[in-house]
């Protein structure tokens, strides 16, 4: 066994990992010492011993403080993962001691926080009230980073490209069609033999430039001989889209899963025009190298159940109880 292997397997302690993470976070030995209630020389000595044992320099001094080297970034990244696992272990032990079933940490982007998650969480809490769930809302890139670092157990979102999910377990949950929508009192609602040219002159709710759906929408309108509208607002907020078309004669495009939770309260008209636009499917992501807790597996089962209900047999007008009548 090499000296490096021996140190990592026998002599490296959790306190060493916490110290390295703190140095990376603060970038200042004085702040690290103050936070840990020890002296600056003690912090410096401990860091020196760790670097000596590993045989590499973990941090370099700069005018703005200590900055991790490439070796330091590697060690700190794995230190965060180990500490997160230890924290999760402690939480599960405590849960077992009090008769609880544990805790699940799940992340989702804003659109799915409001659509799939509420029903799945309600089913979970109904059947297992002692399971506690921490829900984080963020962009997918940030959620995937938290999943890699061990801050999250699961991520629910639109499955990213393969290159972004190395080391992750993927499960497809739902393909979501994209449709043009209006409010129930829109002049085009319920119009028979609707043609693309009928859309000309109406205000729109557009996805912002650079977003996934903007260019496909521009291409679709151009293909049908339409200019991009001059009267529009731009947003990715499904809440704003849903409310805006209820009170203004605007046209918008929306994935049907975003409308599903509100099918009983907001009447929406689906325009019978084929956009021929697809988006990436909704799915579950977890780490391949980390076993899921029973609580996490249970939440996954309810997420599958909710999504199955949304596509039985398909996400369409009948399923959503959306109105075609003016």
Give tens-digit pLDDT for 168-195: 999 999 888 888 999 989 999 988 899 9
**Could you tell me the two tokens for 267?**
């009447």
The larger pLDDT score, comparing residue 150 to residue 256, is at 150
Question: Residue 96's pLDDT band (boundaries 50, 70, 90)?
Answer: low
The candidate with the shortest Cα–Cα distance to 119, out of 314, 311, 303, is: 303
Residues forming beta bridges with residue 287, ordered by sequence position: 168
Q: What is the pLDDT of residue 264?
A: 60
CATH for 100-175+281-310 (3.40.190.10, 3.20.20.70, 3.40.50.261, 3.90.1150.10): 3.40.190.10
Question: Residue 314's pLDDT band (boundaries 50, 70, 90)?
Answer: very low
- For 20-42, the pLDDT digits (tens) are 999 999 999 999 999 888 999 99
The candidate with the shortest Cα–Cα distance to 297, out of 306, 280, 308, 284, is: 284
**Do 95 and 103 form a contact (C-beta atoms < 8 A)?**
yes
Q: What is the mean pLDDT of residues 63-73?
A: 92
| Single pTM value for the model | 0.59
Q: What is the pLDDT of residue 97?
A: 55
CA pair distance 196, 217, nearest whole angstrom: 13
Domain(s) labelled CATH 3.40.190.10 in the chain stretch across 100-175+281-310, 178-278
- Evaluate whether the domain defined by 3-79 bears CATH number 1.20.1290.10: no
CA pair distance 243, 42, nearest whole angstrom: 59
Domain(s) labelled CATH 1.10.10.10 in the chain stretch across 3-79
- For 276-299, the pLDDT digits (tens) are 887 888 999 999 988 888 888 889
CATH T-level assignment (fold) for domain 178-278: D-Maltodextrin-Binding Protein; domain 2 (3.40.190)
What contacts 24+ positions apart, CB below 8 Å, involve 68-72?
A: 68/24, 72/20, 72/24
Query: DSSP code of 11?
Result: I
Tell me phi and psi for residue 196, to 5 degrees.
-60, -35
């Amino acid at each position: 066994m090499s000296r490096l292997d021996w140190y990592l397997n026998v002599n490296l302690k959790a306190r060493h990992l916490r110290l390295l993470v703190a140095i990376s976070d603060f970038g200042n030995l004085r702040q690290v010492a103050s936070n840990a209630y020890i002296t600056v020389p003690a912090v410096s000595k401990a860091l020196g011993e760790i670097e000596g044992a590993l045989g590499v320099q973990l941090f370099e001094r700069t005018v703005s403080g200590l900055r991790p080297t490439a070796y330091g970034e590697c060690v700190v990244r794995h230190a965060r993962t180990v500490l997160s696992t230890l924290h999760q272990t402690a939480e599960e032990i405590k849960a077992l001691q009090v008769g609880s079933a544990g805790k699940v940490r799940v992340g989702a982007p804003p659109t799915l926080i409001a659509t799939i998650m509420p029903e799945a969480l309600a089913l979970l809490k109904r059947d297992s009230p002692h399971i506690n769930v921490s829900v984080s809302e963020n962009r997918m890139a940030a959620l995937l980073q938290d999943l890699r670092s061990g801050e999250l157990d699961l991520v629910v979102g639109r499955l990213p490209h393969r290159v972004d999910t190395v080391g992750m377990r993927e499960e497809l949950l739902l393909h979501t069609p994209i449709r043009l929508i209006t409010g129930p009192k829109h002049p085009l609602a319920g119009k028979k033999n609707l043609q693309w040219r009928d859309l000309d002159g109406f205000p729109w709710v557009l996805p912002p430039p650079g977003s996934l759906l903007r260019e496909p929408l521009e291409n679709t309108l151009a293909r049908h001989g339409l200019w991009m509208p001059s009267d529009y607002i731009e947003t990715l907020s499904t809440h704003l889209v849903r409310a805006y078309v209820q009170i203004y004669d605007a046209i918008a495009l929306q994935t049907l899963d975003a409308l599903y939770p509100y099918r009983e309260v907001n009447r929406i008209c689906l325009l019978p025009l084929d956009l021929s636009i697809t988006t990436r499917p909704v799915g579950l992501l977890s780490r391949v190298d980390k076993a899921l807790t029973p609580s996490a597996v249970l939440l996954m089962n309810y997420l599958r159940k909710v999504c199955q209900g949304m596509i039985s047999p398909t996400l369409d007008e009948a399923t959503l109880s959306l109105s075609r009548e003016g």
